[in-house]
Amino acid sequence: MKTPFWHQGWYRFAHRLDSPNFGPRPVDTTIDLVVIHAISLPPGVYGGQDVQDFFTNQLAFERHPYFNHLRGVQVSAHFFIRRGGELIQFVSCDQRAWHAGESQHAGRSDCNDFSIGIELEGLDGDTFTPAQYESLISLLPVLAMHYPLKHTVGHEHIAPDRKKDPGPGFSWGFLQQGLGWDHPDFPE
């Protein structure tokens, strides 16, 4: 369904910052999964430009010792929600962002093929801000109007041996209540 909110997979009300880290989705892919992540660079530091620079291959590796292990890593997400609720989009939702890595959901592997990745500025185990929940609660229904979403999960649910985000500080119950979506749409 076409809506005035979207143009070629770009959400009208997100700040657009194109990432080179994406590719085409497999033909006839149904985009029915949202994956929630948490990221901050360096870990636990909020408010800078490092995440945006990382997703656009512009990270100044000499700025922090932690960045050395990120050399050569090319990742992206469709969206990034800052602590203050600002919404940034890096990849068209019609394209395959590189956010999930080796992953599996509902018997299907390579979740990047059929998911939309949303990064929250944060640290797994840390709490998230009311402004971030407000942005997420505003974004998800608009996504669901355009894509046949069935499930919303965390990175920890699709890659449990590798990832822990968004972690115990993320309130799935609060998100579910804010959206009014059924329990089967969310992790146990």
- Catalytically annotated residue among 62, 86, 102, 119: 119
> Could you list the mean pLDDT of each consecutive 10-residue stretch along the chain, which spans 188 residues?
83 98 97 98 96 98 96 97 98 98 96 98 95 98 95 96 96 94 78
In the chain, where the domains are located: 6-185
What pLDDT, on a 0 to 100 scale, did the predictor assign at position 125? 86
- Summarize pLDDT for 104-140 with one digit per residue, the tens: 999 999 999 999 999 999 999 899 999 999 999 999 9
Q: What is the 3-state secondary structure (H, E, C) of the chain?
A: CCCCCEECCEECCCEECCCCCEECCCCCCCCCEEEEEEECCCCCCCCCCHHHHHHCCCCCHHHCHHHHHHCCCCCCCCEEECCCCCEEECCCCCCEECCCCCCEECCEECHHHCEEEEEEECCCCCCCCHHHHHHHHHHHHHHHHHCCCCEEEEHHHHCCCCCCCCCCCCCHHHHHHHHCCCHHHCCC
What pLDDT, on a 0 to 100 scale, did the predictor assign at position 2? 57
What pLDDT, on a 0 to 100 scale, did the predictor assign at position 187? 85
pTM over 0.85: yes
Specify whether 102 is catalytic: no
Residue 96: closest CA among 4, 15, 33, 148: 33
Give me the amino acid identity at 151: H
**Other Cβ atoms closer than 10 A to 107:** 5
What pLDDT, on a 0 to 100 scale, did the predictor assign at position 41? 97
What pLDDT, on a 0 to 100 scale, did the predictor assign at position 3? 67
Class of the domain covering 6-185 = alpha beta
Q: Residue with structure tokens 């901050």?
A: 40
